[in-house]
């Protein structure tokens, strides 16, 4: 094969965010844009010769085009094998598993997760390392540095690969293996959960369920696992066909975007269990008949009940949550006398703890939960976890949640997002918050005494790396918190996220609506950050 070296000019904006590089498709379509970034990744690896790479994406617009470009570049850069999901599809957790299972050297995952897709929407790419997890910051920063000076990339003149047929093709030294995207992942889940009990509960009608794949990657996975293997009726999975534009919707599993599911779950004849996943299959939203489980509570409930799941019956070595996630899981960890780690936002920070066996479960408030089984958060895994709990506890979702709150208390929680703020205004908000940090401790607002106000800085206990500026925290003496941070995944302007929580021990007060119960702190958050005042907006774009 002929290898060509193409001269290119660097782009200055290829700085990966919370989870890889995400930009508008039109940005990725600029001459050499994708190629520069991919070559920057390859140049940042110690070695590409003879290496094995997993490749797949969530099927969004530009996925197939990008895959063909990457195959040619991988060939030119000396990779020995590419393992690609049929149709160019791999959910993020499945990609993580395949890297691990086949001992690949890494993987490229093409996705902008929960961001919309289509010619005018978003695309993304990230590199995962050989443990199956997102590359650490040290690597993503090296890629960014490289992208700023890159002046050439390599590509090979091989024909486009047929992505739709499973099998192996050889192009001189490069082997291209097209695999079924679901089989390995389904087999993995079968080793974790009690499929026999799940089948019985579903076939007997004890568990009725609804899963919304949101026209994204989990459609084929959910159909195979929930319908074909576990025997749920075919109409239990809705929006199951992956579409390049996700049907024009946000493939983001929350009550606002998974509205079809939300309507059915909050109706008179709602199924026992309902869930949704996002564009690339790593997020999950859990609901039951007339109840929504906040992701922070879901993580805590999973931790508290993990011993009922076959793979975790020996108990958990520890748990971790991202800093803005509520402290509900901390209470479970304290009661079970296991360590609980607090990491910055983004899954990459869990990798070292999982690899070192320090934690078994981890999660984020942003609808992400996962465990040692892969190195990404995993939507369908969380769904099966809950189904397995319902099957063995013989309780409804609402009963499981109530029982948990009674035992541990409730961390009432919400997140307000202000999207697409003009960047200078967003920076002004952050500067304004920062300026107040020294004087906040000791101040009293209503019944809330500020006990600390700082900017979260994380020191990784395994490799000693330090990550600064990971969100502004205002903590109160009674354990309540307000956290502010700017999103690292948005592609338009800046998104301010405000996370608010308050602990309620009294069971009589557990069934309050979160916005009402948190009204004072929500108002205080505005007083501190002035987002409404500075943007002229009257309310957040999304409340979760």
322 interface partner picked from ligand G1P, Zn ion, none, CB below 5 to 8 A per type: ligand G1P
| Residue of 194, 278, 364, 378 that binds Zn ion (CB under 5 A) | 278
Q: What phi, psi does 269 have (nearest 5°)?
A: -110, 50
Q: Does 364 bind Zn ion (CB under 5 A)?
A: no
Binders of ligand G1P among residues 483 to 512 (CB under 6 A) are: 487-489, 497
Report if residue 347 touches ligand G1P, rule: CB under 6 A: yes
Q: Is 376 in the site for Zn ion (CB under 5 A)?
A: no
Toward ligand G1P, which CB reaches closer, 56 or 346? 346
Query: What residues from 360 to 379 belong to the interface with ligand G1P (CB under 6 A)?
Result: 364, 366, 368
Quote the Cα angle for 348-352-355, to 5°. Answer: 120
Q: How far apart are CA 283 and CA 121, in angstroms?
A: 20
Single residue of 63, 115, 345, 544 touching ligand G1P by CB under 6 A: 345
Q: Which residues contact 308 (CB under 8 A, 6 or more apart)?
A: 388, 389, 392, 393
Do the Cβ atoms of 278 and 58 come closer than 8 Å? no
Taking residues 283 to 312 in sequence order and writing x for each that binds Zn ion by CB under 5 A, - otherwise, the string is x-----------------------------
Cα-to-chain-centroid distance, residue 399: 27
Q: What is the SS3 assignment for 514?
A: helix
Q: Based on the shown chain and the rule CB under 6 A, indicate whether residue 48 belongs to the binding site for ligand G1P.
A: no
Instruction: Give the one entry of ligand G1P, Zn ion, none that residue 364 binds, where binding means its C-beta sits below a cut-off of 5 to 8 angstroms depending on kind.
Output: ligand G1P
Q: What would the x/- binding string for ligand G1P be over residues 4 to 33, using CB under 6 A?
A: --------------xx--------------
- Sheet of 368-371, strand order: 340-343, 319-322, 361-364, 368-371
- Of the candidate spans 48-56, 108-116, 214-222, 519-527, the one that interacts with Zn ion by CB under 5 A turns out to be 108-116
Q: Residue 90 in contact with residue 54, Cβ under 8 Å?
A: yes
| Crossing angle of helices 295-305 and 379-393, rounded to 10° | 50
Cβ atoms of 303 and 359 closer than 8 Å? no
- Burial group, residue 431, by CB count within 10 angstroms (0-12, 13-18, 19+): exposed
Instruction: Select from 39, 113, 298, 305 the one that contacts ligand G1P (CB under 6 A).
Output: 113
252: contact with Zn ion by CB under 5 A: no
Check binding of 113 to Zn ion (CB under 5 A).
yes
As a whole number of angstroms, the distance between CA 486 and CA 484 comes to 7
Which option in Zn ion, ligand G1P, none does residue 297 bind, with CB closer than 5 to 8 A by kind?
none
139 vs 448, beta carbon nearer ligand G1P? 139
User: Which residues sit at the interface with Zn ion, rule CB under 5 A?
Assistant: 113, 278, 280, 282-283
User: Which residues sit at the interface with ligand G1P, rule CB under 6 A?
Assistant: 18-19, 113, 322, 345-347, 364, 366, 368, 487-489, 497
């Amino acid at each position: 094969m002929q290898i060509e070296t193409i001269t290119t000019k660097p782009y200055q904006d290829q700085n990966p965010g919370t989870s890889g590089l995400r930009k508008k498709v039109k940005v990725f379509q600029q001459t050499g844009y994708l190629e520069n970034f991919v070559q920057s990744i390859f140049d940042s690896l110690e070695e590409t010769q003879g290496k094995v790479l997993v490749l797949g994406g969530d099927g969004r617009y530009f996925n197939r085009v990008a895959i063909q470009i990457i195959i040619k570049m991988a060939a030119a850069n000396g990779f020995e094998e590419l393992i690609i999901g049929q149709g160019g599809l791999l959910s993020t957790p499945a990609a993580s598993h395949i890297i691990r299972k086949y001992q690949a050297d890494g993987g490229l995952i093409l996705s902008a997760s929960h961001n919309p897709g289509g010619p005018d929407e978003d695309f993304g790419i990230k590199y995962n390392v050989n443990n199956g997890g997102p590359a650490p910051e040290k690597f993503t920063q090296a890629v960014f540095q490289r992208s700023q000076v890159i002046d050439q990339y390599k590509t090979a003149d091989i024909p486009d690969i047929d992505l739709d047929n499973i099998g192996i093709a050889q192009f001189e030294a490069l082997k291209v293996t097209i695999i079924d995207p679901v089989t390995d992942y389904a087999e993995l889940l079968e080793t974790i959960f009690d499929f026999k009990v799940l089948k019985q509960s579903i076939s007997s009608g004890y568990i009725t369920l609804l899963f919304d794949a949101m026209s994204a990657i989990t459609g084929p996975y959910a159909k195979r696992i929930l319908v074909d293997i576990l025997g749920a009726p075919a109409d239990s999975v809705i929006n199951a066909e992956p579409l390049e534009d996700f049907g024009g919707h946000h493939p983001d599993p929350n009550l606002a975007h998974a509205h079809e599911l939300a309507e059915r779950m909050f109706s008179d004849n709602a199924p026992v269990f309902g869930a949704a996943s996002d564009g690339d299959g790593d997020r999950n939203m859990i609901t039951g008949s007339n109840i929504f489980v906040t992701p922070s509570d879901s993580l805590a409930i999973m931790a508290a009940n993990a011993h009922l799941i076959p793979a975790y019956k020996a108990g958990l070595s520890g748990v971790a949550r991202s800093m803005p996630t509520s402290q509900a899981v901390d209470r479970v960890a304290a009661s079970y006398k296991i360590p609980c780690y607090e990491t910055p936002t983004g899954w990459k920070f869990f990798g070292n703890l999982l690899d070192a066996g320090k934690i078994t479960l981890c999660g984020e408030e942003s609808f992400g939960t996962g465990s040692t089984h892969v190195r990404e958060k995993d939507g369908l895994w969380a769904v099966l976890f809950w189904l397995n709990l319902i099957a063995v506890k013989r309780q409804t979702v609402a009963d499981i949640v109530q029982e948990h709150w009674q035992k541990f208390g409730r961390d009432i929680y919400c997140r307000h997002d202000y999207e697409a703020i003009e960047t200078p205004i967003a920076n002004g908000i952050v500067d304004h918050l920062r300026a107040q940090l020294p004087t906040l401790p000791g101040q009293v607002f209503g019944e809330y005494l500020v006990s600390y106000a700082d900017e979260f800085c994380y020191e990784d206990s395994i490799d000693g790396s330090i990550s600064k500026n990971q969100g502004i925290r205002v903590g109160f003496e009674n354990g309540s918190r307000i956290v502010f941070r700017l999103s690292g995944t948005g592609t338009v302007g800046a998104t301010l996220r405000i996370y608010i929580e308050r602990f309620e021990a009294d069971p009589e007060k557990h069934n309050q609506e979160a916005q009402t119960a948190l009204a004072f702190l929500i108002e205080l958050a505005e007083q501190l950050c002035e987002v409404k005042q500075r943007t002229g907006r009257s309310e957040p774009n999304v409340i979760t």
